[in-house]
Amino acid sequence: MNHRRLLRGAAVLAALALAATAGAQSDEGVKQVERLVKASGNTVKAIADTKLQLTKTMDVYNSLFAQDAENLRKIYNNIQKEMDNTEKRRAKIREESAKMNAEADTLFKDWANSAAAIESPDLRKRSEDRLMATKEKYAEIGTVGQTAADLYGPFMKTMQDQITYLGHDLNPASVASLKPDAAKLNEKADKLVKSIDDTIATANKNIGALQPR
């Protein structure tokens, strides 16, 4: 009798241990998704912060062409400082994007291993289908960091060319000769901001779909 009780007790303990392990794995899965959502949000924030810094840079840049502009050298130096700040923000996008993609790789690898361990063919297939659907949602998020960072590249190069142009010829006549180029740069800035806003909107939509509820 005692032997049977011991066997039953061992079976109960084994079942509880298995349930606890499954619960821990499930909880870790939710935490992994939450970490990915957080990392994705940080990437979007870095993109938005860069956009704000670009706007600040353009404000200083445009002050160079104002009719009442004084101390061109000071404005010129301030433009260079704001451009440096923009590049730092742009580098932050790449940094946060790399962290985000690392979290995604961990989540998808563990999810695949978890799905493979499911004995029920039906549930295993459904878990694999859900994994594939989540990967597809993430596909657009995973590229936003690279896309945003790349969008800034040509624009910043154009601005840098203009600053270099003024480097040895910083006077009212030289600044005035750049006004047509400045108008074109402002048009590019408007299009860039629009593209960045679209990128952020796409990312936020897909992040919302990943968010655990």
pTM: 0.80
Contact 146, 95 (CB under 8 A): no
When pLDDT is cut at 50, 70 and 90, the band that residue 144 belongs to is: confident
Pick the CATH number of 29-210 from 1.10.3470, 1.20.120, 1.20.58, 3.40.50: 1.20.120
Cα(160)–Cα(115) distance, rounded to whole angstroms? 51
In percent, how much of the chain has pLDDT > 90?
Answer: 60
Total Cβ atoms within 10 A of residue 211: 12
Where exactly are the structural domains of the chain?
29-210
If you average pLDDT over every residue of the chain, what do you get? 84
Backbone angles phi, psi at 66, to 5 degrees: -70, 150
Least confidently predicted of 39-43, 137-141, 159-163, 194-198 = 137-141
When pLDDT is cut at 50, 70 and 90, the band that residue 210 belongs to is: confident
* Over residues 127-135, mean pLDDT: 90
The tokens describing 148, both together, are 């945003």
Contacts from 204-211 at CB under 8 Å and sequence distance 24+? 204/44, 206/137, 206/138, 206/140, 206/141, 207/37, 207/40, 207/41, 207/44, 207/141, 209/137, 210/33, 210/36, 210/37, 210/40, 210/134, 210/137, 210/138, 210/141, 211/37
The H or E element that residue 194 is part of is: helix 179-210
Cα(149)–Cα(92) distance, rounded to whole angstroms? 9
- For 2-14, write each residue's pLDDT tens digit: 444 433 433 333 3
The three-state DSSP-derived secondary structure of 63-106 is HCCCCCCCCHHHHHHHHHHHHHHHHHHHHHHHHHHHHHHHHHHH
**Residue 42 clears pLDDT 90, i.e. is over it:** yes
Give the pLDDT of residue 197: 92
Least confidently predicted of 20-24, 34-38, 111-115, 141-145 = 20-24
